[in-house]
Amino acid sequence: MINLLLADDDIDDCLFFQEALDELTILANLNTVNDGVQLMELLNNQPYNLPDILFLDLNMPRKSGFECLTELKLHTIFNVIPVVIFSTSLDPEVVNNLYNNGAHYFIRKPGDFNILKKVIHEATIRLELNKAQRPERINFIIQS
């Protein structure tokens, strides 16, 4: 069983993600938090029960996904968590900064349910097969 954590302030996106995950053949447990402060509190309160993969939205209130990524990668306990950025934006400069700051993959949030299932599956399988090793920059963006 893979433990996934989704940090996203959009409740509809969280439900969409859970529904897509439920239709996949991956055995996974999904927990969600709705902003960056909740994310960091959860991780700090459970440092020995870390997620196998963190799906992280960039634009969240109180603490952005970018701030969380930076904080995670500076912390010796949390820097081992594979982080998949899950965002509506696809700004090349932002994507490069995310890669340079330690994110494993970038997924642009799809509006199509079948594409959502495909990209969640792809990210999860890649991280399982590669033992959470970061890809080369050319393979950073997972597209439909």
Q: What is the CATH number of the domain that holds 36?
A: 3.40.50.2300
Give the residue numbers spanning the domain of 105.
2-142
**Is 126 in contact with 141 (CB distance < 8 Å)?**
no
As for how many domains the chain has, the answer is 1
Give phi and psi for 32, each to the nearest 5. Answer: -130, 150
SS3 content of the chain, % helix, strand, coil (to 5): 45, 20, 35
Query: Tens place of pLDDT for every residue, the chain, 144 residues?
Result: 899 999 999 999 999 999 999 999 889 999 999 999 999 999 999 878 899 999 999 989 889 999 999 999 998 889 999 999 999 888 889 999 999 999 999 999 998 999 999 999 999 999 988 876 788 888 999 987
Element at 32 (helix H, strand E): strand 28-33
Q: What is the pTM of this model?
A: 0.94
